[in-house]
Structure 1
């Protein structure tokens, strides 16, 4: 179990930014207000999920840009941006622009792979190149190179009287490359992230190796350790290898009876999927942690994955109301965080 000499150093939260399709502005405004609340409560970071063709945030970069102008300290991240939907050069420009606007507070979290339900959308996403697109690690490597400021082309300099061109992505935001994260759910991805100079996002979903016993916390622990070994052996000069864990936690310290009933119902509906491996790859889901802050802290102290980290980005439940998020975040910041040795940043 973690000792008091190894307290939780950074506390963040993750939201999907749910909205009603009949009134999307209200949902986006709620997300911005939640981020503002997070800063007032002393959270170190706020993270946005990335959802395409769903009723959650489809453009976290735009939301981070807006949040950057309503906050001054809290770090803003994505967890995660699926690179299969992105052009790395254009994404590099957008991320660098928002990082400049935010004063160097952006933490892009990334993943690779074919877009979800690709067959249903490829005719619009890549109408002429769907069969040629590379959805491998090379796509995120390309983004990292461009963000680091490596040349895009040989051409640069002045043309005519007014136009001046650069050979790298502009604006260049120094330090952004060191704040790139990779969302890894398998040992292979964790090792790749460590070997290639990315920080590690480890969440509530993992894929075990074929010979591993399906025990979520133990497998997460082994993946984090494998990541750190790969990072230590790497010659990548991109700063310290950071690891953040993202479980769903729902403290009930100040919740009303109605909220407690709602939360219990939510967890009850999701619990069956955590009991056995899911799908052809044996995907494992972490159990949601529901209870008082003391009860949740005790469960976290006993969690092998949590024992490996000093940063977390606790995930907010998908489908709750704004007042529920206010209560949960307030309890995390004022009760659960301190129980884990964390102190708010002011």
Structure 2
């Protein structure tokens, strides 16, 4: 059981926001969570460099796994990212779980000249970008040259090389095609509270079809790792003000769950708000939840630190046990 945070900050005081995110990750480890995941935001007031943040988190923690959900590869050079991922994985003692996705960067028309001034119209944002990253992480040569030149020694592969990292690479997908591709290429699969309404308009059934398609194409079959990310807000120890805040938040977001949204026909899962026992019952009845073994519950974007402390505490001490989970030692 893990949790996911966006890591918002005040643009006038970005240090405090980043430190708060690190504090929350450290607090999650103390509560016994198995994993902590950070979101990725560019040109916004959220974490723009999750790998750097997780490098810092790796030095504050000793056990909890650290993940990205997800890094949009349209912003990245796969070779350079492979170097960063391997470096942080080694610094963390093999705890990094990089989640990635593909597609053009958000608002690409407005940002492409800053991001790719010379190659904007030739950049490849397909699954091939993930394939390249996987090859570099797995140690496939990046160059034909190897040996000593002067006083410097060169390797054919990305260095440092972290042997176990390739087994901890995740693909964040919302479509049937992504689920199939991730499975066929031996990745793990992140499915969230957003899916594409391709086969139906029933969120649970769509997500279930993605889980099954992924495992049907994966070499490990039913043992292939899938993590489900839903917005879950237990209220067992919440104050009256927090109860109101959480209910208002969920109510504001509920209309988008009724029908597919936008040209991509995105379907959103309702937020789960209420006592832990009630949320556990709803999760046990969730078609996709019944077929997965890992979750990364998403913390709402705009809440305060004290809200996150309350929510994480209730998840770890109330909801987790109700789901059959026990905190790590």
Higher relative contact order (CA 8 A, sep 6+): 1
Matched-pair contact (CA < 8 Å) for 2:234–2:314: yes
Distance 1:88 1:240, change over 3 A: farther
CA distance in 1, matches of 2:164, 2:254: 40
- State the secondary structure of the residue aligned to 2:190: strand
Aligned length: 329
Aligned residue number for residue 294 of structure 2: 311
2:165 equivalent among 150, 172, 176: 176
Question: C-alpha displacement at 1:208, in angstroms?
Answer: 2.3
**Mapped contact 2:197–2:260 kept (Cα < 8 A):** no
- The answer for the alignment partner of 1:226 in structure 2 is 213
Q: CA deviation at 1:275?
A: 1.1
CA distance in 1, matches of 2:275, 2:220: 41
Aligned twin of 1:204: 193
Q: Does 1:217 align with 2:217?
A: no
**What's the TM-score, normalizing by structure 1?**
0.94
Asked if 1:39 corresponds to 2:29, the answer is yes
Structure 2 unaligned regions, length at least 5? none
Per-residue CA deviation, residues 24-79 of structure 1 (Å, 9 max, x unaligned), is 11110110000000000000000000110111100000100000000000000000
CA apart distance, 1:171 = 0.2
How far residue 232 of structure 1 moved from its aligned partner, in angstroms, is 3.9
Q: Does 1:13 align with 2:3?
A: yes
Structure 1 CA distance for aligned equivalents of residues 233 and 223 of structure 2: 30
For residues 100 and 140 of structure 2, the distance between their equivalents in structure 1, rounded to whole angstroms, comes to: 19
Aligned with 2:313 (options 330, 334, 343): 330
Match of 1:188 among 144, 167, 177: 177
User: Residues 130-160 of structure 1, C-alpha deviation per residue, up to 9 Å, x if partnerless?
Assistant: 0010000000100000000010111111111
How many angstroms does 1:233 deviate by?
Answer: 8.1
Alpha-carbon separation, structure 2, partners of 1:323 and 1:233: 41
The answer for the alignment partner of 1:82 in structure 2 is 72
Inter-partner Cα distance in structure 2 for 1:18 and 1:339: 30
Task: Tell whether the 8 Å contact from 1:248 to 1:314 is kept in structure 2 after alignment.
Answer: yes
Aligned to 2:129: 139
Unaligned runs of at least 5 residues, structure 1: 1-10
Question: Paired residue for 2:105?
Answer: 115
CA distance in 2, matches of 1:337, 1:240: 22
Which of 142, 150, 156 is equivalent to 1:167?
Answer: 156
Matched position secondary structure for 2:273: strand
Residue 299 of structure 1 pairs with residue 288 of structure 2:
no
Once the two structures are superposed, residues 165-188 of structure 1 have per-residue CA deviations (whole angstroms, 9 ceiling, x without a partner) of 111100000110000000010111
Contact 2:136 2:158 in 1 (8 A): yes
